[in-house]
Structure 1
Amino acid sequence: MTKSAMIKEVIIQLLSDGGSHTVSEMKDYLAQKNMKDYSEGQFAGSVNNLLKNKRIEKIDRGIYRIAGTEIVLPKERNGVSMKRCFVVSPIGDTGTDIRKKADQLYQHIIKPVCEKCGFVTQRIDEFNASGSITQEILDALNDYELVIADLTGHNPNVFFEIGYRAKSQKPIIHLKRKDEIIPFDVPAIHTFEYDLTDLDMVSATKDRLEQVIKNFKYDEVKESKKGSNSFENNIMVASLNDILYKIDVLTEEIKKKENETIKTVIETFNAQKPEPESFETEMMKVLMPALIKNPDAVDALAKLSEKFK
């Protein structure tokens, strides 16, 4: 079997799980199969051949799946039952800045955290477009155990979808880009901030997101009054997590102020510190008291200085 044929076989094996995978995930899977000695040309040629023969299809830049198949979220992974998370966010067209940032948030924050917590994620662009996309979205909002919504950009579809989710009384987490203000005041909406340009904040957001996901109760919420306890517990969890987040922010602000205060004290001290005096001045301070007490020493000092001229 040729190297390209082996690469294609492994790629098909990975995509056969029914999900979509990035180029990076394909290469990682090849490495797991001890296939590392291939060129970029061989890899790209294998992918292009699979596309040409319609064995796989491209659903986004660098993301592929088996052609003509509906994405089926796995119920188990490594023998562990998986829950489902529907990700609501502004997506935009391919190549736009909105799409780039949405993909970064999805791929680098939401998806890895959800997988770590036992969830498989799905975004609107990963749905099977052959059916009613609107109905699939509504079903996901109703049925999935968790919804994570990015309120950045004030997208009207996002606000509609979080409102629709509210009636299910199931867990939902709200995110927004740092320093962006929500255009209305709803006390029940607690948002966690992220900043894709700050790696420290990305790490902190992932930690907070993991904590929130693990704290929620994912019991079946029924339409009867019995479901109200689960709903109320989740509201309490969201509120507590929001308090913890604000404490973290306040702590960071205090540290920042402390650092600024220390810096100001140092700068003030340096500004008030007198300039070092010359050697001659220092010598005069030492000699002058002695010369005053012993005037004859002045003549002796003068004669001594003459010898060095």
Structure 2
Amino acid sequence: MTTSAKLQEIILNLLADMKPHSVREMKTYLEQSGATEYSEGQFAGSINTLLRKKTIIKIDRAIYRLAKESRGVNNMKYCFVVSPIGEEGSEIRLNADKLLKHIINPVCQNCGLNVERVDQINDSDSITQTIIDKLLSADLVIADISGHNPNVFYEMGYRKCTGKPIIHLKCKGEILPFDVNTIRTLEYDLTDLDSVEAIKERLQQTISAISFETADESQENINDKNDNTFSGLLPILYQIQDSIADLKTEISKKDNETLQTIMQTSLNNAAKAESADTIMMKVLLPELLQNPESFSNLMRIAEMANNNKNK
């Protein structure tokens, strides 16, 4: 049993009382049950898997309970179909619908897989977000790369990064671009009934050969790698944060020193500043010396002002 499967089993045992339980309670119960060696990525992945399968529901932030309908839990795997869809009634849509109806659906049902294409999903999220969620969480993705649709190629690459199973289909006779023509691809011909039966048999054999538990382990390893990456980044981020704080302190210190320098300079200049009388004498004296009569008049005015003040 994989780590993820073990975590899910223990979490379901806790939630079997049909009462809400928090993430903290789940982790405590896991520890009490002897499950201590798991990463945050594995725990989060287990919760997401149970949510996707609608085995549990989220009732508040970090609080979950067992879904009522999951008392008889449906353990069927989930297959997400990626293909060109086109407008309603278009040739592209007709081809996509026939491929889904006559090849993919019957084979997946025989293999115990629930099948969905994005246009069949009722979700409040944007189509892009729904596609990304399904590419990340689906047990299997079947991608029809006929027509060289850029969206399909993007989604195919995105799925490839998860390390989880993906099967490629294409219409018979189509030539793939050189950078993807080496991938294993199953060809179909919807105009040839014998060909349809042959591709269904090959597709079923391919699905039957997939080890979904190994795929789950692969996803857990990716989650672990992400955890380790972020764990390694955290000290660096803290170091950057400390450096910024030190820089702010230095800038503040320099600002204070500059302010103190300006204030001291102002005080020094103020100490050296001349009185109003001195400034007046410097301005008036040269003029009065050049004009003695004005000097005499100024003296008389000063004496009169002084006499009035004494009275």
State the TM-score, normalized to the length of structure 1: 0.47
Q: Which has the higher helix share?
A: 2
Give the number of the structure whose alpha-carbon radius of gyration is greater.
2
State the TM-score, normalized to the length of structure 2: 0.46
